[in-house]
Chains A and B, each alone.
Chain A
């Protein structure tokens, strides 16, 4: 269960989201997260939320940060993921692996933006390499390719490096979801300095970091789910068919209640998940619920849900995009199988 302190924090974020996001969601999706909004999120300390206060962070505990992400995602999954990207994937890694205090501070203040480029959620390795001090290659799946700071995982003869750099060129394309954040391709071709290499064990470090923060992805997925189902319940109380409200029909109220119950269960699990295994299951199940809840919500809205204006189809796109960005089912179920059943599991 969430503590009083956590509840207070969530209530503050909820207030912020109602003021700054609720009526701006469509604008964010069309024009992307503005500098102004970025500044406001930074002023709340969200881009260095989990860093210690002694290092200029907000000192928010990880559980509370998950609840913050869930709250933001109810209003804008783009904003929630952007916050996760800045705090967890960039600033936390920079803090753990480097002494780049100035960069951390600038990302924390929203002055600079950062992104992480890796291939751990792909079925196959991407083609970014490091040879000597030469970094080269391309990734076609970069969230925020126009970020100021890129943490790039590059491979080199059996090892993997994490390099802080900027791309030589970028190309943007319209993503399936999270349209409030740019997405596309980054090309790297440069001679780097030794100090730009912040880790020579990137794969292990990133893998562990993703496993440890899987509950944050679950939180975003649950925020999407909750928003979708709440919206559908609201609509079922407004829309009539056959002279009755939609919620009065048994199959509709059953599916909505069932979804709501499953989301509430997962929210409880979110506050309890401590082990890596718990967090992995939580992430996989929350992503599945998000895809299902958004499909149910769209179905309840019918034709209206298929139109961008009502904001329901966004949940449908965002839930699948989040799944693609943050999960690789085959790899993850393999890890879980080996841990739960036997190291010999999942090999054929």
Chain B
């Protein structure tokens, strides 16, 4: 048994670290944080450098960690330009892959996942966007919220209700996943500005008004969209865990830098040393559980409880470490990247399944095991 990643992945990590340090300059980080623009130029460079490859997802995972270590907003924006691609990889037809997936993986298109709605975030089965069947296709009406890449994506992997739920217990039935192009008539994305953090990421509210969706754009089986999205969340949550680990490591880097620039007497204080030990331990554990969950997912043997543990725990660690760092650095954190990472870290407890949802998943899986053991 080895806890080491293969050399090839470690090599990617090293390259990702060097790339981020070179390309995510302080000026650019401040610029995107201030203007809330989408870092398209950096996205292109990330593609050209070969970091976006879902054939070997470990490469993307370590790149996510290293990029977010330097700047979570830019790092995630660049890597999430292929957001949702696993959906087509697993469930798409060859035609869908030709038209949407392959151009996305070549950096020619940007994708997004449109699930959350103004009234349905954690409660995926509660979404109200509707797909109504007509001759030769579907009509889509609905409203999506907090969609990452919403105004820059070429197409969305969108979940909508195509049939009423058969019963209250089976609310997750009757949901269908469709590919919807941003430039189609009736699609209106509006960029949401003024976020606390992750301001380089593009976030949008999108309305869909009588949008024609051809039959060939339905992904997987009609009415089974919920299962497809849950499978996808099992993958995407591992990347969010890596985002959290990277953010937490970035915070640690700043604390190291602070301590190394101060007189030795400060870091010789045992109070400071204990805090440092606790922070490092938290990050190391978060990294290990993230890799373990990733190893399961990437070997097609996902463990939803473990994935949720990784996502929940790593997010908790990113936020906890940010708080602890302020206790050490204090007022001198003002005007530094530590403030930004504190703002960026909070989203990890919210998006791609809130910490509360992750805990529910974990608990249900454990209870299921208890039930099965009886």
Contacts and interface: CB of A to CB of B under 8 A. Distances in A.
| B contacts with A: majority SS | helix
B184 interface: no
Nearest to A294: B346
Interface stretch (B12-20, B43-51, B333-341): B333-341
B119 interface: yes
A302 interface: yes
A325 B197 CA distance: 21
A291 interface: yes
Interface stretch (B105-113, B236-244, B293-301, B348-356): B348-356
B146 A303 contact: yes
Given A123-B266, A176-B342, A299-B354, A306 B195 contact: yes
B155 to A, nearest CB: 22
Contacts, number: 108
B276 interface: no
A94 B331 CA distance: 25
Interface in B319-351: 319, 323, 326-335, 339, 342-343, 346-347, 349-351
A140 B335 CA distance: 9
A339 B137 CA distance: 77
A302 B122 contact: yes
Interface stretch (A85-93, A107-115, A203-211, A239-247): A239-247
Interface in A104-157: 121-124, 140-141
Given A123-B332, A308-B194, A323 B326 contact: yes
A2 interface: no
A314 to B, nearest CB: 9
Contacts of A173: 335
Interface string A321-335: 001110111100100
A175 B355 CA distance: 28
B94 interface: no
B347 A299 contact: no
B142 interface: no
Contacts of A348: 269-270
A340 B147 CA distance: 53
Given A241-B123, A242-B123, A303-B350, A320 B331 contact: no
Interface in A169-210: 173, 175-176, 183
Interface in A286-330: 291, 295, 298-299, 302-303, 305-309, 313, 316-317, 320, 323-325, 327-330
Contacts of A158: none
Contacts of A313: 196, 346
Contacts of B331: 121-122, 141, 324-325, 328
B350 A306 contact: yes
A306 B116 contact: no
A269 interface: no
B349 A299 contact: yes
Interface in B278-309: none
Contacts of B271: 330, 333, 346
A23 to B, nearest CB: 18
Contacts of A325: 331
B346 A330 contact: no
Nearest to B329: A123
Contacts of B194: 307-309
A317 B343 contact: yes
Interface in B83-130: 116, 119-123, 125-126
Interface in B182-224: 192, 194-197
Contacts of B197: 306
A328 B330 contact: yes
A121 B146 CA distance: 39
A122 B355 contact: no
Given A302-B350, A317-B196, A121 B330 contact: yes
A298 B319 CA distance: 13
B121 A241 contact: yes
Contacts of B349: 299
A327 B328 CA distance: 11
B332 A122 contact: yes
Contacts of A324: 326, 330-331, 333-334
A124 B270 CA distance: 17
Given A251-B359, A328-B331, 16 more contacts: A121-B330, A123-B329, A141-B332, A291-B323, A295-B319, A295-B346, A298-B196, A302-B122, A302-B350, A303-B116, A303-B145, A303-B146, A306-B196, A306-B350, A313-B346, A324-B331
21 contacts: A121-B331, A123-B330, A140-B335, A175-B334, A176-B342, A241-B122, A249-B356, A291-B323, A295-B346, A298-B196, A299-B350, A302-B121, A305-B350, A306-B347, A308-B196, A309-B194, A317-B196, A320-B342, A323-B326, A325-B331, A346-B271
